[in-house]
Chains A and B, each alone.
Chain A
Amino acid sequence: MAADASILQMLAWGDQGWSRPLLFGLGVTIACASLGYVLGVALGFAIALAKLGNNRWIASAANLYTTVVRGVPPLLVIFLLFFGTNGALMWVARGFGYTGYIEIDAFTVGVMAVTLVSASYSSEVFRGAHGTIPAGQFEAFAALGLRPFLGLCLVIMPQMFRQALPGLGNVWIMAIKETTLLSVISVAELMRVVGLAGRTTGQPFVFYGAAAVIYFVLVAVSSRVFIAVENRMRWG
């Protein structure tokens, strides 16, 4: 494509335009962010339970995990997984007697990175939410004769999720932003596509600007959705 093509032509649908690759990149971004986010929140909940549990060793391991992952740049976590996963998997596989070569694709590494980082942040969100629940609630379910696990599921967790929603919204926005970093390990998400488009057409400003607008809309829509859900879940 000629470098002097107009912006409309560049962003057009079809073989000549970049709309289709951009949309594909956006799809990868959203897939990676949402997969990593869902897995991360689930893992984060488990880690929060580990922190609140009675076992001191498990609790301190969980605290160490959160401190390290929250204290280190996400990019470093991505590099650790990118360079480390294959070796670690082969090491484990060798223990089972498999000596072949294992390779994990970049997308999986990306989802893992988003998962690990979201898990550490959401575990703190859940722990904070757990702390806001009055002691009376725990006493109340105990007085009703509910076992701790059932009480946690029926009494504490519904209240916890309401408290945790704003924090979980922030973690989601963080997950979207983190996916941009995956372009450095060549995951074909939006930033990667936009970079390629910018180099090919010689108009990087237009394409990076377009990416900025897309991310802006994505974040704006997400925060609207989270606020709507929060309002819906409020009492009365």
Chain B
Amino acid sequence: MDFETTLHVASELAGAIWVTLALAAATLPLGFVLAGIATWARASRHGFLRAIASAYVLAFRSTPLLVQIFVLYYGLSQFTWLRQSPAWILLREPFACAVIAMSLCSGAYTAEVMRGGLAAVPKGAIEAARALGLSPLKVFLLVTAPIAVRRALPAYSNEIVVTLKATSLASTITVMELTGVAKDLMSETFAVIQVFCMVAAIYLIINSALIFGLRLLEIYLAPPHERPLRRQRGRNRKAEARPADA
């Protein structure tokens, strides 16, 4: 690959990074909210709500994301009444469709992550909080949620990486993000391996940055006695050094 091609490829990819990041940044919060609603509904007293939420989680986890995106983007255009409704302003945009489909899918997976986190909260802690006379809301905010968040974080960071990779499917409905641009560059420049390596490096850097950030958050949220060993060793060294300083 000569210098000019490299520059062309690099500038094309640099523009596409933002599309990928925008897709992920729009999808993750929406998915999180959907997952929150689904988790709440699955723990609801009403069997009707529980059934709907469980069906949602099961359906979106058991079908491929590409099918979901195509049903939304190509499938819904079949209905004339929908094309004439105001919702069509959103549904005819490939970017919006990709975000909606990916949020629904990510929400279903995240709901499962949330359920795992909540299941890991010891019953005794909740009972103790109730015994202290805390209101249900306070029990949730002060006891259940902090423990559940800590337990669910590793699985959630996994889900974030999955979502980032899933944004590549938006290229199938003409949203030109990293993978879509990479495909065009591959067929245009024939520098297949070089383009692949560059795009792979970009994805790996974004992934590693996200994982590193979440790992820091995990350490920050962990109570001192549960923090990883490296921190403690540093602290011990300081503790050992102190008498010598004095």
Which residues of A are interface residues toward B (Cβ below 8 A)?
A: 67-68, 71-76, 79-80, 83-84, 87, 176-177, 180-181, 183-184, 191, 195, 198, 202-206, 208-209, 211-212, 215-216, 219-220
Q: Does B182 contact A (CB under 8 A)?
A: yes
Q: Are A205 and B67 in contact (CB under 8 A)?
A: no
Q: Which residues of A contact B68 (CB under 8 A)?
A: 212
Q: Are A195 and B70 in contact (CB under 8 A)?
A: yes
Q: Does B215 contact A (CB under 8 A)?
A: no
Tell me, rounded to whole Å, the shortest Cβ–Cβ distance linking A219 to chain B. Answer: 4
Task: List 13 interface pairs A-B (beta carbons < 8 Å), by A numbering.
Answer: A71-B165, A71-B203, A72-B204, A76-B178, A76-B179, A76-B182, A177-B65, A198-B74, A205-B76, A208-B67, A209-B75, A212-B67, A215-B64
Question: Could you tell me the distance between the alpha carbons of A206 and B75 in the complex, rounded to whole angstroms?
Answer: 7
Q: Which residues of A contact B155 (CB under 8 A)?
A: none
Question: Could you tell me the distance between the alpha carbons of A202 and B59 in the complex, rounded to whole angstroms?
Answer: 25
Q: Which residues of B contact A75 (CB under 8 A)?
A: 168-169, 171-172, 179
Most buried by B among A75, A203, A215: A75
Answer whether A209 and B71 are a contact pair too, CB < 8 Å, given A79-B179, A83-B186, A180-B66.
Answer: yes
Considering only residues 25-77 of chain B, those with a C-beta below 8 Å from chain A are: 59, 62-68, 70-71, 74-77
Q: Which residues of B contact A198 (CB under 8 A)?
A: 74-75, 78
Q: Does B207 contact A (CB under 8 A)?
A: yes
Tell me, rounded to whole Å, the shortest Cβ–Cβ distance linking A9 to chain B. Answer: 16
Nearest chain-A residue to B168 (Cβ)?
A73
- Contacts A84-B193, A203-B78 supplied; 12 other A-B pairs, CB < 8 Å: A72-B200, A75-B172, A80-B192, A84-B196, A87-B190, A177-B66, A195-B70, A195-B74, A205-B78, A211-B70, A215-B63, A216-B59
Nearest chain-B residue to A86 (Cβ)?
B192
Could you say which of A73, A191, A216, A220 contacts B70, with CB atoms under 8 Å apart? A191
Tell me, rounded to whole Å, the shortest Cβ–Cβ distance linking B179 to chain A. Answer: 5
Nearest chain-A residue to B78 (Cβ)?
A205
